[in-house]
Homo-oligomer: A and B are copies of this chain.
Amino acid sequence: MQVTQVRTTGFHDGSTDHIFKTTHTALPALKPGEVKICTDWISIDPAMRGWTTNKPSYMPPVQPGEIMRCFGVAEVLESQSKHFAQGDWVTGFMGVQDYGVVSQNGLRKVDLNLAEAKDYLAGLGMTGFTGYFGMTDIGQPQAGETVVVSAASGAVGSIAAQVAKLAGARVIGIAGGPEKCAYLLDTLKLDGVIDYKNDHMPSALKRECPKGIDVYFDNVGGATLDAVLACINYQGRIVVCGAVSQYADFANVSGPANFMTVVTHSLKIQGFTMKDYMHRVPEAFSYLLKAKQTGDIIFREHIVAGLENFQSALEMIFTGKNHGKLLLKVEK
């Protein structure tokens, strides 16, 4: 059986994303502990740029020539694992390919009676969990507090913003352009928005946050973080979100200009990735499933079809052209 894979041809070096090629090979034989899967959905994530950069991070880089790593949802076609059977649906680390043989490690079963397959990569997957844990566990918004979320119309930011709303906070979203800002106000019902492409950040923050800022969900660092710190309240919390830390040039992001605000305002600045919270996934899943069912949290996906569009989809995420969680539908 010939299958189609997207492989890397080298490391991402900050200048180009043209490091992918499509190959067609036969699947290897199943070994004990492995399953043969048919991939249905692939999550397109900023972290993918990190995985293809040749430096140590929370996961080893994908070596040139290897099948590109992804987080996906797939059906089990054949199993040499005692944890999974033919016909099970699973999510976890797999490859950018239509069919594959993967290790049972890092896979978990999903229940298509509870939600659609793609939900497990979006609001009910790593993206949703990241927004939930970052806001709930680190941000800890209290009723009446002011919360600012950057990249608020994005996959993680939109969940984080809605989790803060549900906690009773006043939530201000930062996004680029009138369409995204309108979505935050009209659909997600945030309390205020800042269009970073058209607003002057320091004065916009003062306008939208007259009582100061208690929690900042930081997706971008840099000048926006400095502007937030100028409005931060006593015991403010800065959630530094790992989901977008792999953006180009992130190695050159320096810390806040006035570091002593950390002391004078008793601030907490905390970074995280989902690696820190894997043991608490069921908690996030229950919360988000309920919020989805009651309509308290809205998930938005942006769907691109076809493995051949993998590279252009990945580019899209770094130019902000997607609206909502970016997913690749695998066609067969």
Contacts and interface: CB of A to CB of B under 8 A. Distances in A.
Interface of A: 57-58, 221, 235, 240-242, 245, 250-251, 253-273, 275-276
Contact of A256 (B250, B255, B266, B272): B255
Contacts of A263: 240-242, 245, 271-273
A160 to B, nearest CB: 15
A267 B261 CA distance: 18
Q: Which 6 A-B pairs have the closest CB atoms?
A: A255-B255, A262-B271, A263-B271, A245-B263, A255-B259, A255-B256
A254 B255 CA distance: 7
Given A255-B257, A256-B255, A262 B266 contact: no
Contact of A251 (B245, B250, B254, B258): B258
B266 A269 contact: no
Given A251-B260, A254-B257, A263-B240, A269 B269 contact: yes
A44 B270 CA distance: 33
A270 B140 CA distance: 15
A254 B256 contact: yes
A196 to B, nearest CB: 19
Total copies of this chain within the assembly: 2
A119 to B, nearest CB: 26
A271 B258 CA distance: 13
A253 B255 CA distance: 11
Given A242-B263, A245-B263, A245-B264, 14 more contacts: A57-B264, A242-B264, A242-B266, A245-B260, A250-B260, A254-B254, A254-B257, A254-B258, A262-B271, A263-B272, A266-B272, A266-B273, A267-B271, A268-B269
Contacts of A262: 240, 255, 269-271
Nearest to A244: B263
A260 B253 contact: yes
Contacts of A58: 264
A47 B188 CA distance: 45
- Residue of A254, A264, A270 with most partner-chain B CB within 10 A: A264
A270 B268 CA distance: 4
